[in-house]
């Protein structure tokens, strides 16, 4: 039993030496240096973030509207392709004129 008491007394003396203010300062310095080292190492692995640049682009937005324009009658198929082409061109022009009213021109 006496041996145990002597051992515990020697251990408490060693503990007192370890927690001496001089050792506390050394521990704090080591802790600060290790934290700085860890920060430097981990920040070197960090990915550089890209800068986001916003650019405003204005575009015309076409909104469908209900149009009450009267469409002309479709041309009848012709045997002669030249006459059919002329009829289709006239039909397209009449449609264009009719639908300009819807656009507001």
Extract the tokens encoding 61. 């937005």
Contact 26, 18 (CB under 8 A): no
Is the residue at 76 inside a domain?
A: yes
Q: Domains in the chain: how many in total?
A: 2
Q: For 34-77, what is each residue's pLDDT tens digit?
A: 999 998 888 776 677 788 889 999 999 888 878 887 888 888 88
Q: Which conformational region is residue 43 in: left (phi greater than 0), alpha (psi within -120 to 50 degrees), or beta?
A: alpha
pTM: 0.38
Given a cut of 60, whether residue 2 has pLDDT beyond it is no
Residue 19: give the domain boundaries. 2-44
Extract the tokens encoding 57. 């682009």
CA dihedral 64, 67, 72, 75 (to 10 degrees): 20
Contact 78, 84 (CB under 8 A): yes
More confident position, 36 or 78:
36
Is the residue at 51 inside a domain?
A: no
Extract the tokens encoding 1. 């039993």
40 and 70 share a domain?
A: no
Q: CA 9 to CA 13: how far, in whole Å?
A: 6
């Amino acid at each position: 039993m006496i041996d145990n008491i002597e051992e515990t007394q020697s251990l408490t003396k060693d503990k007192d030496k370890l927690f001496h203010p001089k050792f506390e300062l050394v521990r704090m310095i080591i802790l600060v240096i290790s934290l700085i080292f860890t920060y430097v190492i981990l920040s070197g692995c960090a990915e550089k973030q890209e800068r986001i640049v916003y650019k405003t682009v204005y575009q015309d937005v076409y909104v469908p509207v209900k149009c009450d324009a009267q469409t002309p009658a479709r041309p009848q198929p012709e045997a002669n392709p030249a006459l059919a082409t002329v009829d289709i061109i006239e039909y397209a022009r009449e449609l264009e004129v009719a639908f300009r009213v819807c656009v507001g021109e």
